[in-house]
Structure 1
Amino acid sequence: MTDEMWTIKRCLDWTNDYLARKGIERPRVSAEWLLTSVTGMSRIQLYTEFDRPLDSAELARMHDAVVRRAKGEPLQYITGETAFRTIDVACEPGVLIPRPETEVLVEEVLSYLDAEVLGPRPVDAAAHPRAHPRAVLPWNEMVEEQRREEQAAAGEDRDTRDARNHDEAPDEEVAEEAPVPASDAMPCARVLEVGCGTGVISLSLASERPGRVRCVATDIEPRAVDLTKRNRRALGLTEADVDVREGNLVSPLDRATEWGTFDVLVSNPPYIPTDVMRKLPREVSAYEPELALAGGTDGLDIYRRLLRAAPHMLRADGLFACELHEDALGKAADLARRAGFEDVEIVQDLAGRPRHLLARVPASVVARAEEEDGRAPA
């Protein structure tokens, strides 16, 4: 009887050996994740409860999962979820599986926002109405300056206001002098993500900077839009945090009210060159959507369209951030410089390969886009 019992340890060891014989890379990891999905246990619990038997329902689910994995189906589609930075999201067939490389892209966007949008406060916007100058004020000085501006606009100085409040409404004096909550004065960033897939970029930005980052995320694939919305709900975020829209690239954006209002345009577009597409592992080519992978001959078909769109979407000195194929970054950087973008930088991924392009869209390029659009400067 004992020999026939399928315990956690026996199932883990058998699955590891079986997947190894089928040529699955890192079979032990696959075995662990499949078991955690089937049992609801953590990976640590698997090793602390080796003798726990699996019931008949768990065995049936595990058998189905192992068969799918042995055929090469990605773990994320089998378990229905994946981890990305600080969040866990649902992952389904028909939508691109998030990669660790993209976590670096999110980090770069956050670093820019913290340094240029969320932390600094503009004190002189003469260069361009949408520019973020580098000068900053501490929060307490920002609050005090805001008070002084409001008082000046009302035609009152502090002494006059205090005297009137003392005579007419002593109860209101405390409220008038109470510190302004930081959230009332803190700037809020606007981010446009094109091609959101599972939504991990926008959802991470909104989750890691709660109330400080507002995202609009677009995707042409209805399944991706639906999945991002479900992931948003599961994370407790709202439409105000991440507004998800179906459409091709920037087409869901309102020309009159939204063009030129974003601090960042970020994208992990289809970027696999045609020759590389032919050599992709079966685990990718047979299961993940070609629409989210194929980037044309040089991998830059969608990138070129985003490059043209960026000056129309961003405020002056806004950030254009894009994940691309390692062999295409040099050409992509040249295209960005020829388009007038500045501070063009190539960032490596976790494996040390060139993976991300960052560039700023200067005021002159934004102004030219505004003129082409017939829009007044924002």
Structure 2
Amino acid sequence: MADAVQEPWTIGRCLNWTTDYFERLGVPQPRLSAEWLLMDATGFDQKIQLLMKHDLPLEKDELARIRHGIERRVEGEPLQYITGDTQFRKLNILCEPGVLIPRPETELLVEYVLEYLDRNVTGWVKPKPERVSLPWNAEVEALRQAEEAARAALGQAEAGDGEEDASHEGEPASPEDAAASPEECVNVDEGDASQPEAECGAPHRQARVIEIGCGTGCISLSLAAERPGCVSCVATDISPAAIDLAQRNRARCGISPEVVDLRLGDLTGPVRPEERASFDVLVSNPPYIPTSVLEAIPHEVRDFEPLLALDGGEDGLAIFRRLVSAAPYTLKQDGLLACELHEDALEEAANICINAGMHDVEILQDLTGRPRYVFAHTG
């Protein structure tokens, strides 16, 4: 990317050059990496914008930013740390070194927990969209007949003198035109932002969730954001850097401290005496990589993400065992413990739950079909 080259560095040229450079150096997902860095440098939030403006020359500060990003990516640094954020479900989450990067597997953990809460606690029901349609009744039939009569009259006039009756000028050509276009006669898209937000069904009660090891805060913030008024969370982490970042993400997402209460401390240590046995769900994505496996994980994870959030001990279940022990004192009767774990540890995790007197123990799969989550209920 020498400045001596007279050809301007357009978005398209920079994208192609960066992709080729990453491919030669063996950088994982070279095209995606180049797109992320360019979007970060230009401020675009969609890849389609890069394609639509591929002839747009980059400004000096944009070129400097992408050069710096290329250098960091070649060293193996995760894209999320370079750009400073990532998408997690419906939220844009700040990321920074020292705090674990949210994963797609954890997005599905949130989905499973929401399904449980909807079914067993909150009674959340997404309202059906309002139907916008023509009133296909006697009025419409009368309109149709009147239109046919008008067409017949018009045809007779044309046959008589070949001149168009001015009284028909501007009349609709069909009943659909008179009332609404075909596009207006279908159900409103459920995802239409103009529609009211879904609300808890009635009767319902608010769910209380405790998240252990919150990191960026992505789990608790997603639960609260996707079930407004229905879910409140206490989220703990032993890392001051994680709590600080989660607080900034909470502000970024416009969620109040009363809804997601972030607390510094070890596991359930920050739970207050009056809160014991008051939570419906204990959810966690704890450190779960077996120590012996850490050397085999990708360089960009092993050498850049915090070991504290990765190392799960000899079998990956060191923290999980402590969560199982804490569950009866943290959860209500028949409360749910929901954890994401290493795929090779799920059977042992289920046995730990059963031996602890928990019931309805389930092993759930991730999107690739691998065992990834254990759900169990207190007695």
Q: TM-score range by the shorter chain?
A: 0.7 to 0.9
Distance 1:288 1:22 in 2: 22
With over 3 angstroms needed to count, the CA separation of the structure-2 counterparts of 1:239 and 1:316, relative to structure 1, is: same
Q: Distance in 2 between matches of 1:49 and 1:200?
A: 32
Partner of 1:193: 211
Could you tell me how far 1:20 is from its partner in structure 2? 1.2
Unaligned 5+ runs, structure 2: 125-198
Partner of 1:352: 369
Q: 1:68 aligns with which of 64, 68, 72?
A: 72
Name the CA shift for 1:60/1:184 in 2 (closer, same or farther; >3 Å): same
Structure 2 residue aligned with 1:213: 231
Change (3 A) 1:345 1:184: closer
SS in 2 for 1:82: strand
Matched residue, 2:31: 28
Give the Cα separation in 1 of the matches to 2:112 and 2:309. Answer: 22
| CA–CA separation in structure 2 for the residues paired with 1:310 and 1:16 | 48
CA contact (8 A) 2:123 2:201 kept: no
> Is 1:11 aligned to 2:11, yes or no?
no
| Equivalent-residue separation in structure 2 for 1:84 and 1:251 (angstroms) | 27
Letter in 2 for 1:205: L
What corresponds to 2:335 in structure 1? 318
Q: Give the equivalent residue in structure 1 for 2:221.
A: 203
Structure 1 stretch 64-73 or stretch 274-283: which is displaced more? 274-283
Task: Provide the residue aligned with 1:111 in structure 2.
Answer: 115
Aligned to 1:132: none
SS in 2 for 1:65: helix
Distance 2:48 2:5 in 1: 24
List structure 1 runs of 4+ shifted beyond 4 angstroms.
Answer: 181-185
Residues 238 and 50 (structure 1), Cα distance of their counterparts in 2 relative to 1, 3 Å cut: same
Between 1:2-11 and 1:203-212, the stretch displaced more is 2-11
Aligned to 1:238: 256
SS at match of 1:317: strand
Measured in 1, the distance between the counterparts of 2:214 and 2:291 equals: 22
Q: Secondary structure at the residue paired with 2:343?
A: coil
1:40 aligns with one of 43, 62, 73: 43
What is the number of residues matched between the two proteins? 301
Pairs within 5 Å for 1:1-378: 3-41=6-44, 42-119=46-123, 186-255=204-273, 257-362=274-379
Superposed displacement of residue 186, structure 1 = 3.3
Note if contact 2:123-2:203 (Cα within 8 Å) is conserved in structure 1.
Answer: no
Cα 1:328/1:30, change in 2 over 3 Å: same
Q: Which amino acid aligns with 1:10?
A: R
Write out per-residue CA displacement over residues 5-50 of structure 1, whole angstroms, 9 at most, x where no aligned residue: 0000000001101111121111000000111011011211000011
CA distance in 2, matches of 1:355, 1:22: 33
Report the 3-state secondary structure (helix = DSSP H, G, I; strand = E; otherwise coil) of the residue aligned with 1:278: helix
C-alpha displacement of 1:326: 0.4
Aligned 8 A contact 2:123 2:202 in 1: no
Q: TM-score, normalised by structure 1?
A: 0.78
CA contact (8 A) 2:238 2:266 kept: yes
Write the distance in 1 (CA, Å) between the matches of 2:200 and 2:80.
Answer: 40
Cα deviation, residue 2, structure 1: 8.8
Distance 1:53 1:347 in 2: 49
Shift of 1:185: 5.8
Distance 1:217 1:114 in 2: 20
Deviations 1:225-278 (A, max 9, x none): 0101100001110011100000000001112x1010000000000000011112
Gaps of 5+ in 1: 121-180, 363-378
RMSD of the alignment, in Å?
Answer: 1.6
d(CA) in 1 for partners of 2:235, 2:307: 20
Counterparts of 1:83 and 1:182, CA distance in 2: 26
Relative to structure 1, the CA distance from residue 74 to residue 7 in structure 2 (aligned partners, 3 Å threshold; closer, same or farther) is: same
Partner-residue secondary structure (3-state), 1:243: strand
| Displacement of 1:184 | 9.2
- Structure 1 348/299 Cα, relative in aligned 2: closer, same or farther at 3 Å? same
Partners in 2 of 1:306 and 1:2 — Cα distance? 59
Give, in angstroms, the shift of residue 4 of structure 1.
Answer: 2.2
